[in-house]
């Protein structure tokens, strides 16, 4: 009987050792599965960029809706935010981006009559309508929305070149 107690104790000790080993491995795996602060920050920033791109697209859609409801006349570059807000097509919060002031987040380029005519022909995909402040994302790029209401993220140097071509800083 003493031998069977010793044998069962030995088996229990081995089982305990295996359990502890499995727990250590599980905790180590779990610790490596916990994202670092940098990964969390990057994920949050990517989410903010996607949200901002969606906002740029929504603003472009509101501008195109305005154009269609006003006989092909776009909102004035001087009053475009207030014009769109006053018609309830868009909420003021749509112009805010990641802690930036309303006047600093998005910029609008009033389309020409020829550009608006191209929209009716299925064009407008190369006509920048709305873009973000170049410093909003620390020089890493920015969201751009076009007259056809498409939007995209444009990376760093390409974004700088685009907004310089558009006359940023003039």
Place of tokens 């987040």: 105
Instruction: Between 28 and 85, name the one with better pLDDT.
Output: 85
Residues 6+ apart with CB under 8 A from 101: none
Interval 123-152: pLDDT, tens: 888 899 999 888 888 888 999 999 999 999
Strand partners, 155: 141
Residue 145 forms beta bridges with which residues? 130, 151
Query: 170 versus 72: which is more confidently predicted?
Result: 72
Distance from C-alpha of 151 to C-alpha of 145, rounded to nearest angstrom: 4
pLDDT at 12: 58
Q: What is the pTM of this model?
A: 0.73
| pLDDT at residue 75 greater than cutoff 50 | yes
């Amino acid at each position: 009987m003493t031998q069977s107690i010793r044998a069962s104790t030995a088996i229990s000790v081995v089982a305990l050792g295996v359990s502890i080993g499995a727990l250590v491995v599980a905790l180590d795996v779990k610790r490596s599965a916990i994202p670092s602060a940098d990964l969390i920050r990057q994920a949050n920033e990517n989410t903010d960029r996607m949200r901002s791109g969606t906002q740029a697209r929504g603003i472009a859609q509101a501008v195109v809706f305005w154009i269609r409801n006003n006989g092909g006349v776009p909102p004035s570059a001087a009053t475009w935010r207030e014009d769109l807000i006053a018609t309830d097509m868009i909420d003021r919060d749509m112009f805010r981006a990641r802690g930036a002031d309303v006047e600093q987040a998005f910029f609008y380029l009033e389309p020409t009559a020829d550009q608006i005519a191209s929209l009716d022909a299925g064009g407008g995909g190369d006509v920048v309508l709305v873009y973000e402040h170049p410093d909003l994302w620390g020089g890493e790029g920015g969201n751009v929305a076009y007259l056809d209401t498409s939007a995209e993220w444009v990376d760093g140097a390409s974004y700088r070149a685009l907004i310089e071509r558009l006359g940023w800083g003039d």
